[in-house]
Amino acid sequence: MATSVLVVEDDVAIRDMLTFTLKQAGLTCESVGDAESGLDALKNNQPDMILLDWMLPGIDGIEFIRRLRANEFLANIPVIMLTAKGESEDMVKGLAVGADDYVNKPFSPPELIARIKAVLRRCQPPENEDAQKLQFGNLVLDTKSHRVTVDDVRVELGPTEFRLLHFFMKNPERAYGRSQLLDYVWGDTVYIEERTVDVHIRRLRKALEPTGHDQFIQTVRGVGYRFSVD
């Protein structure tokens, strides 16, 4: 089955270009012009990926992602946001609320397709780890159900935070620099800034804070981060 993408973009010319580019790459595509229509579309079909414009009329991109991540059935859909150059603060906000990647406008079609494929690859656990469970005390990560629980109570994580925690739990007690985490978690073919790691670390800690497990994500001064239960 072809990969399906929902495009949420209010500029007609850009929306048409995105639709053409995606179909040329062999992807199926549904496109809408505002966030409300995008949320309605999700009630009928769950796409493999969402391309989300940042500056939308009515509900903006930030609120769209917040609503998406708050929905148990939609929370794991990866989102790439489309931003105009110079909107770096918006980019940080987008990553903070749960976007998985961003592409600056204007962008080339090959770059966009490469980003989509990279995000989709890292959102799917390797087959040989499909049934793997990782556990430290009462913190359990299940790659098969794509859930994190503490005492059987689910911890809500976005896709990127899930992958980050998965990597840390597979490699405890070892410090990793930001560039290393970008390579291992995001992939070495994705070109994004190192501060992206800090944004997702903050999101991961915030999600783990109510149960006290945020202390497992430790900052190593001059190096980066590590996962430690000590």
Kindly report, residue by residue over 27-76, the tens digit of the pLDDT.
Answer: 999 999 999 999 999 887 889 999 999 889 899 888 999 888 888 778 88
Q: How many CA atoms, within 13 angstroms, populate the side-chain half-sphere of residue 207?
A: 29
> What domains sit in the chain, N to C, each tagged with a CATH number?
4-123 (3.40.50.2300), 133-227 (1.10.10.10)
pLDDT band of residue 207 (cuts 50, 70, 90) is: very high
- Percent of the chain having pLDDT more than 90? 44
Q: What's the whole-number mean pLDDT along residues 124-129?
A: 54
Nearest to 124 by CA among 159, 161, 171, 155: 159
Q: What is the pLDDT of residue 130?
A: 46
**Cα–Cα distance, 191 to 64 (Å, whole number):** 25
Percent of the chain, pLDDT > 70? Answer: 90
Query: Tokens 């012009």, residue?
Result: 33
Sheet with 133-136, edge to edge strand ranges: 133-136, 139-142, 147-150, 153-155
pTM of the model: 0.62
Residue 72, phi then psi, degrees to nearest 5: -60, -35
**Longest distance between any two alpha carbons in the chain, whole Å:** 54
Q: Is the pLDDT of residue 173 over 80?
A: yes
Q: Compute the mean pLDDT over every residue in the chain, rounded to the nearest whole number.
A: 85
Query: What is the DSSP pairing of strand 176-177 with strand 224-227?
Result: antiparallel
Contact 105, 80 (CB under 8 A): no
Q: Which of 11, 5, 182, 189 is nearest to 84 (CA)?
A: 11
